[in-house]
Amino acid sequence: MAHILVAGKLHPAGIERLKAAPDMTFTLVDEISLESYLPHVGEADAVVLRTQPMTAEVVAAAPRLRIVSRHGVGYDAVDVKALNARGIPLAIVGDVNSRAVAEHTLMLMLAVARKAAQHDAAIHRGDWNVRNRFETVELDGKSLLLVGFGRIGRRVAELARAFGMTVAAYDPFVKPDAMAKHGVRPAADLVKALAQADYVSLHMPGSTAGAVIFEEEINAMKPGAILINAARGGLVDEVLLDRALREGRLGGAGLDVLAAEPPAPDHPLLSNDRVLLSPHAAGLTAECAARMAVASVQNVLDHFAGRLDPALVVNAAEMGYHR
């Protein structure tokens, strides 16, 4: 009988799937931290993991571990090399969150462009005349650059075009004709493309090399441009972004992710009124949370049943899986 450790709060749909599984026991640890689940890994044959780290030390403390299933698609905080050394597959949930993240991206774009947070705060303090400042801008007729053109990027492109935006994308791993099929103009040079975009939205995995939007990229952006990041914290140099916003070189930013989460109380972006923040929640709608919970649990069950989809295994090649 296999024992599953669920490290982090799981939607009830996922718990029901666990309860229905024969020959399985499980432990639920609602708190999302390394310290909360570490004492339980020694008894786990499988771990369903939220966003907390899984270090080499955690893997070493889990002698029975046979699979790790991420409750999501990112795995920046997982030591994949440590899993590879033990022959442990790392599974992700596939395309369950692209709709939710794409909608959240458009929400951030609209809210920053229309200064939704600032207007709400002004009305609450009695300043109805904020409406006469004529500071908000539209999406219709504006240009959007997508940095990354995977499932989420494609969905954002579809939604943005419905708002009347022209869309370009920079992604060296996607062929230009694949972009053109979605009505998107391929951009061969990131810096040149940034100079032409009214809105820039990031949709790429985290980079071990550090920020992708750094000094050259921020300086290249069109004056007044709006930056959106619902992808990975660390893709943007937050100090340089804060400076560009305070100096008025950029029009605003909508960020669902930060390099360190939660941010320190003195993080400069917290006091920047040109920034709209959300708590890494783009993929945490009720519907998406249910899909991710069921999918992450199902990956574990499929592994023990010998039918785990290799396309969902990050380290498939190292495990000898054939996609």
pLDDT in tens, 68-104: 999 988 898 899 999 999 999 999 998 899 999 999 9
What per-residue confidence (pLDDT) applies to 211?
79
CA distance 139 to 112: 11
Catalytic residues: 232, 261, 280
Residues 121 and 227 in one domain: yes
Residue 38: CB atoms within 10 A of its CB come to 18
Give the sign of the dihedral formed by CA 231, CA 232, CA 237, CA 242: positive
- Phi, psi dihedral angles at 227 (to 5 degrees): -105, 135
The CATH number of the domain holding residue 184 is 3.40.50.720
- Is the domain of 60 the same as that of 209? no
Domain range for residue 23? 2-96+285-319
Helix and strand element counts for the chain (H, E): 13, 12
The whole-number pLDDT of residue 323 equals 60
Q: Report the C-alpha gap between 195 and 42 in whole angstroms.
A: 52
The domain total for the chain is 2
Same domain, 102 and 90: no
Does residue 106 share a domain with residue 69?
no
Residues (pLDDT < 70) of the chain are 207-210, 322-323
Same domain, 90 and 102: no
Residues 291 and 260 in one domain: no
Q: For residue 291, which phi and psi values (nearest 5 degrees)?
A: -65, -45
Its pTM stands at 0.86
First to last CA, the chain: 28
Question: pLDDT digit string (tens) for 241-272?
Answer: 999 999 999 999 999 999 999 999 999 999 99
On whether both 109 and 254 belong to a single domain, the answer is yes
| 23 and 146 housed in the same domain | no
Cβ partners under 8 Å of residue 298, min gap 6:
17
Q: Give the type of residue at 80.
A: V
